[in-house]
Chain A
Amino acid sequence: GENVEQHPSTLSVQEGDSAVIKCTYSDSASNYFPWYKQELGKRPQLIIDIRSNVGEKKDQRIAVTLNKTAKHFSLHITETQPEDSAVYFCAASTNAGGTSYGKLTFGQGTILTVHP
């Protein structure tokens, strides 16, 4: 099955700096890669996603890049703010048929702390 590795496990930055979180995946059939932000005790919130036919996607201060050959994708947050502090999860899924139903496999999570 799919295995997603995420690094770093913790990341501390100063307000205004950029933050980068990286993930690798094992299943070359994976073609959908979302990123979630989770605040303590709350549900994961989708912040951005990318599909395998695209190499980069940007939404204001957030961008995601995908390298299918190397099987890794990254989340970039620019001009970080204290409210960006949360746990971020990457995930990967396939659109395979059969029993996979496009299930997501999550990375281990990154605790991002943005210091004012």
Chain B
Amino acid sequence: GAVVSQHPSWVICKSGTSVKIECRSLDFQATTMFWYRQFPKQSLMLMATSNEGSKATYEQGVEKDKFLINHASLTLSTLTVTSAHPEDSSFYICSARGTGGNNSPLHFGNGTRLTVT
């Protein structure tokens, strides 16, 4: 149980274009999803917290107008990287919390490898 599906697993786009990444909780409802970014050989850095039906909460230094987050249902959150640039190339991973409150385990998606050329 508690499967999180992320799509696409990899994407290559041209500089200036936008890319949408989907994160779905397949067998549970996730009122809160988290979006992380991981550069090569580095840790996972939280970008934003996605809350169903409300605006996302962004971490300091993350541009909300560049990384658009939509959490329109209890099973789907999307991250859109707008006007992508090569420095946005990274591994983007979503995660969702299952039932059990804030201290229940986070379940991660498979991640999306974004390459901006």
Chain A residues with a Cβ under 8 A of chain B: 31-32, 34, 41-46, 49, 51, 89, 93-95, 99-109
| Extra inter-chain contacts (17) besides given A41-B111, A49-B105, A51-B103, CB under 8 Å | A41-B91, A41-B113, A42-B111, A43-B108, A43-B109, A43-B110, A43-B111, A44-B44, A93-B102, A100-B102, A101-B102, A102-B32, A102-B101, A104-B46, A107-B43, A108-B42, A109-B43
With an 8 Å Cβ cutoff, the count of chain B residues facing the other chain is 24
Could you jot down 21 A-B contacts, CB within 8 Å? A32-B102, A34-B106, A44-B93, A44-B108, A46-B107, A51-B103, A93-B102, A95-B101, A95-B103, A99-B57, A101-B32, A101-B102, A102-B97, A102-B101, A103-B34, A103-B49, A104-B106, A105-B46, A107-B43, A109-B42, A109-B43
Q: Which residues of B27-46 have CB atoms within 8 Å of chain A's CB atoms?
A: 32, 34, 42-46
CB-CB nearest in chain B for A4? B43
- How far is the CB of A48 from the nearest CB of chain B, in Å? 10
**A32 — which chain B residues lie within 8 A by C-beta?**
102-103
The winner among B49, B51, B109 for most chain A CB atoms within 10 A is B49
Q: A34-B105, A41-B113, A101-B102 are in contact. Are A89 and B46 (CB under 8 A)?
A: no
Most chain A CB neighbours (cut-off 10 Å) among B44, B57, B108 = B44
Q: Are B46 and A43 in contact, with the CB atoms below 8 A?
A: no
B43 to chain A, nearest CB (A): 5
Query: Considering the complex, which residues of chain B in the window 78-117 have a beta carbon less than 8 Å from any beta carbon of chain A?
Result: 91, 93, 97, 101-103, 105-111, 113
10 pairs of A and B residues whose beta carbons are closest in the complex:
A102-B102, A43-B108, A32-B103, A95-B102, A106-B43, A106-B44, A108-B43, A101-B32, A109-B43, A43-B110
